[in-house]
Structure 1
């Protein structure tokens, strides 16, 4: 990345001082404008082709479901292969789909189900593109600037939300949705050209590479043993499930409750976008005075009011300011979730964790859209929106067991060294990366008076071992010498153990140092490695006893 001008403290606009971030951000604005034009055109086209509120609501599902199916594979691929090449492939694929949808629309014989099908294909491209696109920000700006870069990425989408729907609505009103789909295809081509010009530096290889299945398991394991990430995922699902009612049913409210045109629907979304842009500036100023947890609570309360207003307000003029506030709340909540996830995750697993976060978000959106659409069809539109408001209100209680952790002060750079010296040790020479399983044992001498504090510190270290690749981990006491405590962890292969070393961060080192603080004696804790017998080198495998047939007398 190119250096930015010296500054005492990063600000909201600091990411724009990095030329590469600036170019990709502008490209994302253009692409997002096309996407929002596409969303308006697609939803409105289905609204005019069918009388079913469920089919209209399924447009949101057609966009979100591919992310539910493909986000995790996309995250694993994004951490394993060149991210630039993956972005080129996904942008090209979405361009072809958008052009094809436009061509079919111009024939005049397209059905609501066909629009859903093309929307699903575009959702597939977006699902493969999304985790990598978000993770790329960490390569464009340094960590202190990253929260502002993430906020600006949210701003790019909301600038597009402010412009795209209104522009799409005008084109639909005066021409045809087909023109909107064609313009969306052109926007993908523009983004493809910017990414093509990005000369990304190849990352040096160190140690055995992960395979696809192992990479997926590593991502899931990291989330399982990371309380900060797990809490964000729970809150994300609860919020997106309730907030999906607005996205899924807003067009139905405009068309069938207020009896207005596609132009008004586009203006509603533009008010949302304008509110989100305002929310970005609030995040850069007053928002810094609030914790992540407080921001999420504030935004969630705003969406309680959004669903109530859509159900009860009889005039679009009252809904315009409601949509503005909703956009502000949306930006504050989603940026808080996204920033927390990315700042709690080291680079080696970033795309995978982002993909799991996106999967959780899209699962909430998909399931919520189906639930609220079905409820609107079976009972009434107003009932669906009121129940959604009740869900959002109840979800505020999740802040008690699943508080959002602040990411400040974390140092996720790779550790310089580790207690376990395996990668460079002579005992590891000649061992095949696929050999295993491997057991690592670290012996400590700990005074009985220190056992309670040692146990608590060792529990934290055990979580890190499991998070980074161990299948089992724990601490045993020597029966003959109770002061001798042995930490062990069990890893599937020697290659996976080597990858553990690359995954250990400087923050993890502080946890390890706390455990080692209780060790007594002139020598450091003793580390031993055991490889499953008889796969170690130069071990003779005994033959089974020779079976001699009994002689015939």
Structure 2
């Protein structure tokens, strides 16, 4: 058996729950589930309390907006911070902030001083904590499990979120109805104690500062350059923005659906949200069979049709038992969409920029949710909740069918570093902050091959930009038509050295395709020019 075959079979042999045999992962996973249960309980209490404080659909929708807008604004900086700070200490700090938010909500609700303005403001601060925490939690998983268990660990994290989604809202609704908001917020504060204790127990090895470690602004710019140059990521972001902008209508208005249309109380609202989580768990179990019949585009279209069908059915104010069943289907559609889009995004991102690329995806996701929630709240203010649900469902179906033609990337390229670039020749040592750097590559290309060579180089230009170049060009020598010079700029010598480690196997294949046109002896000549 080859090494590749052994690696491919290892996860299956070890089992889906193999990561839980790693003590650190098991403790942190359990603590995360408890923390997410507390967060969902807090969200239920806040979403329901705002209906007590105000009957305005806009005020209700603003709670959803306040929770998701910070992720839209801060996901990319959070992704950068997760790469340059000690992740364990950073997570502890964020957990303390979130505990302080819930503790403040506890005091205000207990004293009767809670207002819509306070609720929205504190929800916004909680959203900031969630924005800072999300990319960091994803980034630590490879530190906790062997490489063979990584995919199973990611799947377990998704399962843990949906376990919390199925338990937290229902438990929060019941505690809220039985004991009031202050106790509900108090339970959430207690959940953060478990998470912080687990993080303190985790003895993370100290990070070693490499000579090429990025600073915040440099890493930020590199992530944005990659995003601008990645056509595949653009497709994922477009499909995500369209889907979540329309699907956000049901989430923004669900508290009003539960109270006004279905005549439920806080406990029933929690049950509805718990049904969404249970449906998501069920969806995670049936998704392997769905993937056998549908590709990623088919899965996303199925999610759109299921979500739209649930929204359209809720318009008729069904019996409560039927509403719970419909929310189970909503959970199925939601997990299919989330897993499909997130999985495609992860499959097209190389390791060195995965955190920042996923942060951009989270920005688009939460931006669509935040803007959509606010927009649908304003629409509901004008035409009512039933009419808004119909509009959202119709838009989701139409958009799902139209954008189905824009195919999601398959994500089959080999993104492992190729490390095939030779080290540049130096007359003397160069300071890492020197720059900008101009790299010139001289090719000998026959005149009749210019058109085909240019087609390949256009694709190669995107690779250069993804890996760090901020400008690129291709020029023909007027005195020698077979001499073609490719040039590109990077911002510093250190950034160019990082390029050497960023080039993937797929990029190496593309470069080899360009080199087949080269007619000179040996490889093209490369020059490195530093600005004076």
TM-score normalised by the chain length of structure 1 = 0.90
Deviations for 1:170-208, whole angstroms, at most 9, x for unmatched residues?
111111111111111111221122223333344544444
Cα pair 2:10 2:148 within 8 Å, conserved: no
Change (3 A) 1:196 1:290: farther
Q: 1:401 Cα shift?
A: 5.3
Q: How many residues align?
A: 526
Structure ranking higher in helix proportion: 2
Cα pair 1:5 1:17 within 8 Å, conserved: no
User: Residue in 1 aligned with 2:231?
Assistant: 227
Change (3 A) 1:530 1:7: closer
User: Residue in 1 aligned with 2:304?
Assistant: 300
User: Residue in 1 aligned with 2:201?
Assistant: 197
Distance 2:366 2:187 in 1: 26
Please give the secondary structure, in 1, of the residue aligned with 2:434.
coil
User: Residue in 1 aligned with 2:444?
Assistant: 445
TM-score normalised by the chain length of structure 2 = 0.93
Gaps of 5+ in 2: 1-6
**Counterpart check, 1:103 vs 2:107:** yes
Distance 1:463 1:377 in 2: 46
**Counterpart check, 1:344 vs 2:348:** yes
User: Residue in 1 aligned with 2:328?
Assistant: 324
Distance 1:6 1:220 in 2: 35
Gaps of 5+ in 1: 536-553
User: Residue in 1 aligned with 2:39?
Assistant: 35
Q: 1:145 Cα shift?
A: 5.0
User: Residue in 2 aligned with 1:353?
Assistant: 357
Q: 1:382 Cα shift?
A: 1.0
Distance 1:202 1:515 in 2: 42
Distance 1:14 1:486 in 2: 52
Distance 1:30 1:8 in 2: 28
User: Residue in 1 aligned with 2:67?
Assistant: 63
Change (3 A) 1:382 1:33: same
Deviations for 1:346-373, whole angstroms, at most 9, x for unmatched residues?
2322221111111111111111111111
Residues 352-501 of structure 1 mapped to structure 2, 5 A cutoff: 352-397=356-401, 399-400=403-404, 402-408=406-412, 410-418=413-421, 421-422=423-424, 425-427=425-427, 429-501=428-500
Q: 1:285 Cα shift?
A: 4.1
Deviations for 1:215-266, whole angstroms, at most 9, x for unmatched residues?
2221111111112211111111111111111111111011111222111111
Post-superposition, which runs of at least 4 consecutive aligned residues in structure 1 deviate over 6 A? none
**Counterpart check, 1:518 vs 2:521:** no
Change (3 A) 1:485 1:17: farther
Distance 2:294 2:145 in 1: 24
Distance 2:148 2:516 in 1: 31
Bigger radius of gyration: 1
User: Residue in 1 aligned with 2:159?
Assistant: 155
Distance 2:11 2:345 in 1: 26
Distance 2:296 2:245 in 1: 20
Distance 2:443 2:104 in 1: 66
Distance 1:482 1:205 in 2: 47
The worse-fitting range, judged by mean Cα deviation, of 328-337 and 410-419 is 410-419
Distance 1:379 1:132 in 2: 41
